[in-house]
Amino acid sequence: MPEVKVINFGAGPAKLPEEVLLEVQKELLNYAGTGMSVMEMSHRSADYLNINNNCQNSLRNLLNIPDNYHILFMQGGGTGLFAAVAMNLISRTGSADYIVTGTWSKKAAKEAAKYGKVNLVLPDTKIGTIQDQSEWKLSPDASYVYYCDNETVDGVEFPYVPETGDVPLVTDMSSNFLTRPFDVSKFGVVFAGAQKNFGPSGIVVAIVRDDLLGSALPFTPSVFDFAQIAKENSVLNTPPTFQVYTIWRVFEWIRRNGGVEGMQERSRLKSGSVYEAIRNSKGFYESPIDENVRSRVNIPFKLRGGADADAEFLKGASKLGMTQLKGHRSVGGIRVSLYNAITLEETKLFVDYMNRFTSSYKK
């Protein structure tokens, strides 16, 4: 172990609950008395199919997912889903609406343009704001409306679910999935990579409404065809079995800790304390994000002192074991990520450091 206990504030892959890692470690060579590792089990075995079903049930309970939604385990990350969403949904009208509020929704729109016409709903996006819905240019003939519920790089989070009438709503929740309850029935598709709030990288969960299956473009790879995956209960081909097992353990950890309502309350307290430190710093720390759309999970900020101050802040944090705090290369500054596994205590240590640093810097 390093001399100081590490506190990992990274944006992802990110901290996992220690309790879950200890469980995974304990049964790494012998899952549930089978005498073998989860990694060694056939994906067609009764033991694995139980894991597959238990994992889905656990998530269905956490989010009250209605029966007319399928839970799909997929590979290829969020970037894979950017293509898959368009390949599966855009054929109805040939076009889709994209609400671009940051780095990831912009990438999603670019990938989707390979498969149809992409309308940018907010042509004059200024990162750090979300224009009022009354100004959006939604197209009546869009196959779907797409947005990113939380922009990991930019720190912008939707405080509401957009209203799109009968047009199916699709959202990338990769960085805030399971950090608050939401009404699944408002969506056509919700997807999220695991590596922020609920597991290791290498798996994406997609929640897909029944009636949206079966319209994939003819050249859709089988492993990206929602209908095929749904039909085979996410065992179309060999799934990432270790990931399915691990995210199930995290789902159960969330359940034991108050469910998504518990995560939401902790998220409120954690992010609230960081934003309070920014506000109380009288401009020493600056958030470039509008107050009403500030992310609860990814908080980018800059120091008034500029890059030198950023560097000294990071150096001091590092001495305290606080790691992966550097802002995204495209943004700079500091970014603290407060995903589900980050504790209130860890957040308090960070906030205390923020407060101390304002007075200790260049005195």
Closest separation in Å from C-beta 69 to its own copies? 23
Applying CB under 8 A, among 46, 135, 219, 363 the residue interacting with its own copies is 219
Closest approach of its own copies to the CB of residue 162, in Å: 25
Residue 77 touching its own copies (CB under 8 A): yes
The gap from C-alpha 319 to its chain's centroid, in whole angstroms, comes to: 29
Residue choice 65, 96, 101, 115 for contact with its own copies (CB under 8 A): 115
Looking up tokens 């954690």, which residue turns up?
A: 270
Residues β-bridged to residue 32: none
Binding to its own copies by residue 177, rule CB under 8 A? no
- Residue 36, interface with its own copies (CB under 8 A)? yes
Q: Write down the number of H helices and E strands in the chain.
A: 9, 14
| Comparison of 128 and 240: residue with beta carbon closer to its own copies | 240
With CB under 8 A as the contact rule, the residue among 62, 65, 84, 342 that binds its own copies is 84
Q: Which two tokens stand for residue 217?
A: 């473009």
* Residue choice 54, 57, 117, 200 for contact with its own copies (CB under 8 A): 200
Query: Quick check: 223 binds its own copies (CB under 8 A)?
Result: yes
Size of the site for its own copies (CB under 8 A): 71
**Closer CB to its own copies, 41 or 96, in the complex:** 41
- Exposure b/e, 73-97, CB count within 10 A at least 16 = b: bbbbbbebbbbbbbbbbbbbbebbb
Query: 54, 60, 64, 83: which one contacts its own copies (CB under 8 A)?
Result: 83
Q: What is the 3-state secondary structure (H, E, C) of 123-166?
A: CCCCCCCCCCHHHCCCCCCCCCEEEECEECCCCEECCCCCCCCC
Contact map string, positions 243 to 272, toward its own copies, x by CB under 8 A = x--x--------------------------
Q: Name which of residues 128 to 147 contact its own copies (CB under 8 A).
A: none
Q: How far is the CB of 239 from its own copies (least distance, A)?
A: 7
Least Å distance, CB 252 to its own copies, is 17
Active-site residue (options: 149, 154, 172, 225): 172
- The enclosing H or E element of 41 equals none
Q: How far is the CB of 115 from its own copies (least distance, A)?
A: 6
Q: 157 CB contacts (<8 Å, ≥6 apart)?
A: 149, 150, 151, 176, 293, 294, 295, 296, 297
* Beta bridge pairs of residue 156: 151, 294
- The question of whether 104 is a catalytic residue gets the answer yes
CB within 8 A of 141, min separation 6: which ones?
A: 93, 95
Active site residue 141: no
**CA 217 – CA 118 distance, rounded (Å):** 16
Binding range to its own copies, per CB under 8 A, among 14-22, 269-277, 309-317, 354-362: 14-22
Cβ neighbors of 77 (< 8 A, separation 6 or more) are 193, 201, 204
Active site residue 132: no
Q: Verify binding: residue 17, its own copies, rule CB under 8 A.
A: no
Tokens 């509020």 identify what position? 101
Beta carbon of residue 108, minimum distance to its own copies (angstroms, whole number)? 11
| DSSP per residue, 49-67 | HHHHHHHHHHHHHHHT--T
Q: What is the DSSP string of 235-281?
A: -SS---HHHHHHHHHHHHHHHHTTHHHHHHHHHHHHHHHHHHHHHHT
Binding mask 320-349 for its own copies (x = CB under 8 A): -x-xx-------------------------
Active-site residue, from 15, 106, 196, 302: 196
Decide: is 209 part of the binding site for its own copies (CB under 8 A). no
Active site residues: 104, 172, 196
